[in-house]
Structure 1
């Protein structure tokens, strides 16, 4: 294979970025993936030893920079990446999804300073492909916030569930994954046997999965599925509109029963992604190209139109958002706080979105504020102390810092005076 394809220079672009405890449970690191290159960075202060007169505090941290701690070359292009904390582990593990339907669970090995494979999963049997030879579906992997399981989409219509071993919740079974040869003798495998869910068995019209996300605040792992049962496009809006839908299924890992507990239909046809909201607000944001919709179980939805096109291409009840004219295609999202998000648009603009909720924790309005302009991003990751990493395929990734006092994003190269934290 080397005689056919020779890689003279490693990939410099960044397609995925997450923040996790890669080396240990003390310090968080930034993990980026571009093509088949995986890099691990550490955020360190950029302090001039000669300038001892500067004073730093919690509200005025010093300038920081990224230091590359490790670089690994994989045997395939990374399609999706997530981190998870497994039982009895001293560091986080990485879930790496590869095309067409392959999944690897790896973690850092301090003895060899390399990646150690915990488990490998392959779901490309002929009966799973349903007769197709070429697939355009990109696998999506998502991890439960409470580290109970992980889910990956397979060929657009199937889900693979990987239950994780917990100390007291899931009982041992004969179908568990056996410990690998490199592990400690006598230890139990942290990942239990995987199983597949056929979405057609639970939702009749499900097809064309757009995004999947785990919701916060549920007793069992609850997966939200954003899909489009019958596809359409902008040229057929006059005939067919609001073709997207969402459904939330509860994953019972012991009995393997997965009821649909919540569903919403007739969403705008141009939905692009779902963003789960943490507690105490909860719920999810459904982002379409021309609208932003907040959904929560058992309460009415709230949606706003982001431009004049939304009024003519969707029948979903939307309110006009004042002083905003944007589109959310190719948008990247990161959480600064539970009710504050940063949005990176396709043109490089950065917006700070604040969810305004009432006394009952129901979102009643959105507040957009333009913060800055940056590079064309393919991923965004929020690190410690409100540092933002904007990854780009063009190789010009950027590290920014969010200042809460003025609700703006500044580059680390700017000279800033100490400012007080914004009072709420």
Structure 2
């Protein structure tokens, strides 16, 4: 007889990975709920309604739990919005009175998800193809999932495993690795890359439309949608490219072939040798050919700060990549580069030319980032503060970086943008939030005060965006925090941008727990026998522990 050594009483709720994509529906299935109204038809003092646009699905993982959500948008004055008895959070923004997360499917997997990516189907807004979900597990197991309308759930389209005797040479004699698989997908959906065993990169080539894969003809004949699928895969040994100590990688925009930018350290350093070795990182851009396996080096940048740890691909039409470090932010592409110092610890390479400095001091280690617009990025710091980074550019040349404070939120484990008006803040330590944002032009001081009031008057204070500290609040009232000055398209005058945020929905997180107790109830039945006679009570205190994940690690 066998007994379970561990029984999960509550599924994990702390979200570790999040992403967005058109999983249950395609871009062509979207019917505009709120048409855009031109500002000329409105009174000058009324803001223009720009519409919320196509809203993708939300995919989240928490330990070994995978969940897929769809966003239900309620427009202002709609019949279903008036008759709905569900409480709506926030007010009206861009003609939207509410947005709710509706659970489509929930799965408990047989392993913790280490990394997740959404493989885009490519094409424009009229594309009828759907995106797919790629999950990575330790040590080198990969699963590709797609939505099946017949079962109204996810199914596995392909599985890839790089373990076992035939792949033992990839480990090069090592038995364990500090980091699990790291995954990223090409923005145009041509391939996906997974970093395994620290220095092995697996390229999953996506199938093109009409490639003749099994199931495509049946889906087309029955009028069903086709999801992005994997056609083939191969392994690139980064040692052959003279790359070691990889920190991050990302696929960039606006290239004919997929181009991956890899952030790596040429040599390691530590705090005791910062005065001698402080710019040891490097980024290298390689063209990934889908016909010939050897990648080609396009461009590279050396002498980046040793504390650089994250890459963020800049969307079209600007292109390029942001290198985020604890003390600096750098922008690089083939023909242009610029940087921004975040605090007094930021130093230049030769210490002769100082970097432009931000108007306030901040540290960006362990930060999460996403794009609100093609030139405005949202950063979430380790303290829960939200920052807005704007790329001031002329044509396709970025002139400078401007960083400004916004509001404060939960401590995030990831951020993803959902369409053109929503983003999702995932958290392991607090409730994850679905937030709607709006970008206005020429906002005045009164509108900034209204933004504070909208969030301050939320229903549940434990699940809302919090106002920043007193010094940040003073900046907000002065009208400087949410304002950006950048080059417009005509490059003749400066345009002012202001952002408004409104919490629409949240996913409750049970934890982190500081203490709990359990016991067995006394059985008062005099005829009870066996285990029913047990009458005891046991107390258990787990200080600084959390049950967000089934894994056996305790984080304070």
- Please give the TM-score of this superposition, normalised by the length of structure 2: 0.67
**1:253 counterpart = 2:281:** no
CA, structure 1 residues 8+395, in 2 after alignment: closer, same or farther (shift >3 Å)? farther
Q: Write out per-residue CA displacement over residues 160-186 of structure 1, whole angstroms, 9 at most, x where no aligned residue.
A: 111111137xx89xxxxx859xx8799
1:16 equivalenced with 2:17 (yes/no) = yes
Note if 1:302 corresponds to 2:338: yes
Deviations 1:216-252 (A, max 9, x none): 1111100000011211122220121111111011011
Contact 2:121 2:228 in 1 (8 A): no
Determine if contact 1:209/1:228 at 8 Å carries over to the other structure: yes
* Larger RCO (CA within 8 A; separation ≥ 6): 2
Structure 1's 259 and 377: CA in aligned 2 closer, same or farther, altered over 3 A? same
Q: Distance in 2 between matches of 1:316 and 1:271?
A: 21
> What SS does the aligned partner of 1:119 have?
strand
- Matches of 1:326 and 1:314, distance apart in 2: 23
For 1:185 and 1:65, the matched residues in 2 are separated by 32
Offset of residue 274 of structure 1 = 0.6
- Distance in 1, Cα, partners of 2:301 & 2:349: 18
Provide the rounded CA distance (Å) in 1 between the counterparts of 2:135 and 2:457. 33
Bigger proportion of residues as helix: 2
Name which of 255, 258, 262 aligns with 2:299. Answer: 262
The structure whose residues are more often strand, as a share, is 1
For the pair 1:280 / 2:325, whether they are aligned, the reply is no
Residues 346, 188 of structure 1: CA spacing in aligned structure 2 closer, same or farther, 3 A cutoff? closer
Deviation at 1:190, TM superposition (A): 3.8
Structure 1, gaps ≥5 residues long:
173-177, 416-421
Residue pairs, 1:137-148, within 5 angstroms: 137-148=179-190
SS at match of 2:178: coil
Matched-pair contact (CA < 8 Å) for 1:400–1:411:
no
Instruction: State how far apart, in whole Å, the 2-side matches of 1:333 and 1:110 are.
Output: 33
Q: Following the alignment from structure 1 to structure 2, what is the Cα–Cα distance between the partners of residues 255 and 106?
A: 27
1:201 is paired with a residue whose SS is: helix
Q: Distance in 1 between matches of 2:227 and 2:380?
A: 42
Is 1:42 the counterpart of 2:42? The answer is no
Q: How far apart, CA to CA, are the structure 2 residues paired with 1:114 and 1:335?
A: 29
Note if contact 1:208-1:227 (Cα within 8 Å) is conserved in structure 2. yes
**1:334 equivalent in structure 2:** 370
1:48 and 1:423 mapped to 2: Cα distance?
35
C-alpha distance 303-50 of structure 1, shift in aligned 2 (>3 A): closer
Q: Given the superposition, is the C-alpha separation of residues 90 and 307 from structure 1 closer, same or farther in structure 2, using an over 3 Å criterion?
A: same
Unpaired stretches in structure 2, ≥5 consecutive residues: 30-54, 75-80, 460-494, 498-556
Moved more, 248-257 or 382-391: 382-391
Q: For the pair shown, which has the larger CA radius of gyration, 1 or 2?
A: 2
Q: Secondary structure at the match of 2:15?
A: coil
Which position in structure 2 is the counterpart of 1:80?
115
The answer to whether the 8 A contact 1:268-1:314 is kept is: no
Alignment of 1:123 onto 2:151: no
Q: Which moved more, 1:404-413 or 1:221-230?
A: 404-413
Computed over aligned residues only, the root mean square deviation of the Cα atoms, in angstroms, reads 3.1
Q: Secondary structure at the match of 1:255?
A: coil
CA distance in 2 between counterparts of 1:83 and 1:368 reads 29
Contact 1:401 1:412 in 2 (8 A): no
Partner of 1:344: 380
Contact conserved, 1:400 with 1:412, CA < 8 A, in 2? no
The verdict on how the C-alpha distance between 1:317 and 1:233 changes in structure 2, with shifts beyond 3 A counting, is: farther
1:175 match: none
Once residues 208 and 317 of structure 1 are traced to their aligned partners in structure 2, the CA distance between those partners, rounded to angstroms, is: 28
Maintained 8 Å contact 1:247/1:263: yes
- Deviation of 1:86 after TM superposition, in Å, equals 4.6
In 2, are the aligned partners of 1:331 and 1:344 still within 8 Å (CA)?
yes
- The aligned residue for residue 255 of structure 2 is 218
| Offset from partner CA, 1:191-212 (integer Å, 9 cap, x none) | 222111111212x2x1121111
Please give the alpha-carbon distance, in whole angstroms, between the structure 2 residues aligned to 1:362 and 1:99.
41
Q: 2:147 aligns with which of 108, 118, 123?
A: 108
Q: 1:142 to 1:49 in 2, by over 3 A?
A: same
Aligned partner of residue 170 in structure 2, secondary structure: helix
Distance 1:59 1:340 in 2: 19
Alignment counterpart, residue 265 of structure 2, candidates 209, 212, 228: 228
Find the aligned partners of 1:166 and 1:387 in 2 and give their Cα distance.
30
**Is the CA contact (8 Å cut-off) linking 1:242 and 1:315 kept in structure 2?**
no
Give CA-to-partner distance per residue, 1:43-75, whole Å, 9 cap, x none.
Answer: 224645389xx9x98734213222222211111
